[in-house]
Amino acid sequence: MNTTYSASAPLLARRAHTTEPDAERALRVLADELEADGASAVLLFCSGAYALAPLGGAIARVFRAPVAACTAAGQLGPNGFEHGGITGLSLKSSDLEMRPCLLSPLSLCQSQAVSLAREQARRAAASPGSRSFGVLLVDGSSYDEEYVTAALYESLGNVALVGGSAAASPSYPQPAVYYEGKFLHDAAVLALFETKHLAFETFATQHFVPSETKLVVTLADPDRRVVYELNGEPAARAYASALGMDSAELGAKTFACHPLLLDLGEQLFPRAIRARQPDGSLRMAAALEEGLVLSIAKSLDPVAALERKFAEVEQKVPDPAAVLVFDCVLRRIELEARGLDARVDELMAKKRAVGFSSYGEQVGPLHVNHSLTGLAIGSRWGQA
C-alpha cells in the first residue's frame, strides 16, 4: 500500500493504491487510507483482474461517500504509473458536493443529457453562486464518446467537462463504468461536482507536431472508427510505407510512437491507431471522415510538454490539492518504449496526479486520444 496526503484547506485530498488481490479487503484498506467515510467524493480506477460483479457490490458496501469508478488499463497513483490493483482519490471539503449521474444506454444519451441539464439548472437556482465541473467516465468499447461528450457539453452549458474512456486489461477485455453497486457496459457516468469557492481548471496536452508526410483518408467508416484506405491504398500498407516499414511489422509500439495527426490550424489533434485489421484496414481510437488530410506525427519531448502544461495550470490553481488525469494508454506504451516512464513517474508523483490509462480522453466538447486531459483542484485561485 502506498499513500500520500496533501492539505490545502478547506480542501483535503488523499490518494492511495493497493494490489491486494481480494476485492473486499482491497477496498477496506483503501477506504481507511483515503479516510473515505468523511469524504465529499471518492474516485476509483480498477484493474479488470478483479471480478467486476463482486467488486461492484463491495464498493457499495464499503464506501459511504459518493463514488465514481471505472476499469483501467493501468493507473497513475502515489508513485506514478501503477500496474494492476486499485487506485483511489478522496476529496473532502464542506464546499464540495459530488453527484454521480448514469447515462445508459448510450444511444439515448441526448435525451438523458437534456434531463441532466434541467436538473442542474434547478440546483443552480437553489444554490446561487455555485460553480460546476463534471468528470466523465465512458465505456471505452462503445465508440460513442464523441456523441456523449458533445451532447453533455451542449446540454449542460457552463459546466466544465473532462474525463476518460474506461479501458480494459488483458484478463478482462471489456471496459465498464461503476454506478450504484454495479459495473455496467454501454454506459457512462458523469460525476457532477459543485462548489462555491474552490479553484479548479481543466486542461489537455499532447506532444506531437506535423511531419511533411501527408495521408488523405479516401475510404472510411467513421461510426465504426475504421479507416480502409489512405491515399487510395489499403490503410495499413499506406501508413507502413510512410514509415518505411512493411505492414506486417506494425504493432502497438509503432502505433504508440507514430500516431496520425489532424491539423486544424490553431489546434493539433493526434488520432491514435488501435490495431491493424486482417483486411488491411486500421481501427482508430476516434472517428475519421473521408477527405481529411492527416500527417504522420513527429514527437517532441513528452516530459517537457507535461512540465509546461503543469506550470501553466498552476498559474491558475496554485499548489493544487489534487490533479486528476486521464492518460491515453498508447502514451504509456510510448514512454516505456522511449525509456521515459521513470521521469514521468517522478513528475506525476511530484504533481500529486492520480488517474488512469484510458482508451480515449474527453475535454470540453471533444473526444481526443493520444493525449492527457485533466483537472486541477485546490483551495485558492491564481492569476486570471
* pLDDT given at position 288: 95
Each residue of 75-128: pLDDT tens digit?
999 988 888 999 999 999 999 999 999 999 999 999 999 999 999 988 888 888
Residues 6+ apart with CB under 8 A from 367: 145, 146, 149, 165, 286, 360, 361
74 pLDDT above the threshold of 80: yes
List the Cα angle 200/327/140 in 5-degree steps.
105
* pLDDT given at position 206: 95
Dihedral pair phi/psi, residue 57, rounded to 5°: -65, -40
Give the pairing of strands 160-166 and 177-179: unpaired
Do the beta carbons of residue 30 and residue 36 sit within 8 Å?
Answer: yes
Give the DSSP H or E segment for 347.
Answer: helix 341-350
Please spell the DSSP secondary structure of 143-177, one letter per residue: S-HHHHHHHHHHHH-S-EEEEEEE--BTTB-S--E
List the Cα angle 344/267/384 in 5-degree steps.
75
Residue 323 CA, chain-centre distance (Å), reads: 12
Residues 6+ apart with CB under 8 A from 62: 24, 27, 28, 31, 36
Do the beta carbons of residue 309 and residue 203 sit within 8 Å?
Answer: yes
* pLDDT given at position 158: 83
CA neighbor of 352 nearest in space, from 90, 2, 4? 4
How far apart (Å, rounded) are the C-alpha atoms in residues 19 and 27? 10
3-state SS, residue 306: helix
Q: Cα–Cα distances in Å, from 169 out to 47, 70, 74, 324?
A: 7, 12, 8, 21
**Amino acid found at 265:** G
* pLDDT given at position 5: 43
In terms of pTM, does the model score above 0.85?
yes
Quickly tell me which residue has 481480494 as its cell. 22
How far apart (Å, rounded) are the C-alpha atoms in residues 216 and 381? 44
Domains of the chain by residue range: 2-204+304-378, 208-299
Query: Residue 105, preceding bond cis, omega within 30 degrees?
Result: yes
Classify residue 257 by burial, with Cβ atoms within 10 Å: 0-12, 13-18, 19+: middle
Each residue of 266-309: pLDDT tens digit?
789 999 999 999 999 999 999 999 999 999 999 999 999 999 99
Share of the chain above pLDDT 90, in %: 86
* pLDDT given at position 156: 93
Quickly tell me which residue has 493526434 as its cell. 270
DSSP letter at 224 equals G
CA neighbor of 67 nearest in space, from 95, 110, 34, 94? 34
In this structure, the number of other CB atoms found within 10 A of the CB of residue 314 comes to: 18
Q: Cα–Cα distances in Å, from 373 out to 71, 181, 351, 370?
A: 17, 27, 14, 10
Each residue of 333-369: pLDDT tens digit?
999 999 999 999 999 999 999 999 999 999 999 999 9
CATH classification code of 208-299: 2.40.30
